Structure 1
Amino acid sequence: MTESRDALLLVDMQNAFFNEDGLAEQQEELVEAANRLSDAARQAEVPIFVVTTVHSRDESTWTLGMLAAGEGFLFNGDEGTEVVPGLDTSNTTRIEKTRDSAWFATDLHLRLSNLGVDRIVLAGVSTHGCVGQTARDAYAYNIRTTIVTDAVGDSRDDYHREQLSHLEDDGQAAMATVDEIIEKWTGA
């Protein structure tokens, strides 16, 4: 068996998500955690992907909920779509998605396959939505997932805890802390 190769995915670290009560209070802590992970990833030559949600104004990418409400959001060029202040995106690759999963209708699988990645490390928001769905879909692609428990957040703590518990209990994701990931990548 060949040696395992990781990639770091920073999911939906965008202004609009942190405007939500519950997440706004976590922004500084999550940005700091994401930056610590990114610094260690760069040092260890682990590829970093900044995964963002971006929609078209013409409704062609809208979700059923957006269509039902008659209102879209996260449009290209809007301030809410931009990554949060302080997030270091240097030497990263951007993946734009229109659904919860970073895998749905993107070239993420191709990129990871080309890089020989067989495990993703997830940080970002929201645990019960985009982070959880990305982890579940990684499992479907036979890509191992580790969720960095102190680098993911949700507007509702009960959703956050339940999602992490379900993913771990179902064997679809392992859990680790920022310090544990950094130690694995850098030995520090």
Structure 2
Amino acid sequence: MTGPHGSAFSGRVGWGERPAVVVVDLVRAYTEANGPFALPGPGPAVAATEQLVDAARAAGHPVVWTVVRYSPGLADGGLFVHKVPALAAFAEDAEGGWGELTLKPTPGEPVVVKQYASAFFGTSLAATLHAGGVDTVVVTGVSTSGCVRATATDALNHGFRPQVVRQACADRSAELHDNNLADLDAKYADVVDLPEALSRLRP
């Protein structure tokens, strides 16, 4: 069964009036070559995210960062840490500092601590964004198939317009990245290119 435009999928949620940039888990564990979740060639995604953050700051749009952090012994990690044992690198007593952000927030930019894939699950993110009048969430970070996807999907579930920036996300392979972006664009978010996102964010 198809929709009014001849397809069951790939409608657009579009941009609202008040965007925020949410940088998902862009930490050393993913961006450094010897990190436990090291990605192949994360540099372009980091650079694209930095451009988006700079544009948002210049225009006075909110920027929110997320990190994964567990208590010593992983007591608050639930079954997720059993499924993905390398998450132990994000315990407070773990060595290596892998949970440190690759790019640095400025004073006043919230850093949301999470234990699961979505930046919205079990956190104050939705309340923070709603209180700030945000209606559009520009999603960047890592990984495309994991925490980016979960965050974009939950953004839609919480009534925000998710915009996932293709060049500002990264994954373990180009195939995973591209396939997940295609599926997100079909069902849960608008996948946009960096120039469009920058033009929407800039004053």
Tell me the TM-score normalized by structure 1: 0.88
2:162/2:189 contact within 8 Å kept: yes
Q: Which of 151, 160, 164 is 1:147 aligned to?
A: 164
Q: Which of 65, 69, 91 is 1:75 aligned to?
A: 91
2:30/2:37 contact within 8 Å kept: no
Say whether residues 1:179 and 2:195 are aligned partners: yes
**Gap change, CA 1:166 and 1:69, over 3 Å in 2:** closer
Q: Which of 60, 63, 76 is 1:45 aligned to?
A: 60
Q: Which runs of 5+ in 2 are unaligned?
A: 1-15
Secondary structure of 1:31's counterpart equals helix
2:117/2:147 contact within 8 Å kept: yes
Secondary structure of 1:161's counterpart equals helix
2:69/2:91 contact within 8 Å kept: yes
Secondary structure of 1:111's counterpart equals helix
| Alignment match, 1:61 | 76
**One-letter amino acid of the counterpart of residue 17, structure 2:** S
2:19/2:201 contact within 8 Å kept: no
Secondary structure of 2:73's counterpart equals coil
| Alignment match, 1:135 | 152
| Alignment match, 1:166 | 183
**One-letter amino acid of the counterpart of residue 190, structure 2:** A
Q: Which protein has the larger Cα radius of gyration, Structure 1 or Structure 2?
A: 2
2:29/2:38 contact within 8 Å kept: no
C-alpha RMSD of the superposition: 2.0
Distance 2:157 2:189 in 1: 12
Distance 1:145 1:7 in 2: 10
Say whether residues 1:25 and 2:38 are aligned partners: no
Deviation at 1:63, TM superposition (A): 4.0
Deviation at 1:76, TM superposition (A): 2.8
Tell me the TM-score normalized by structure 2: 0.81
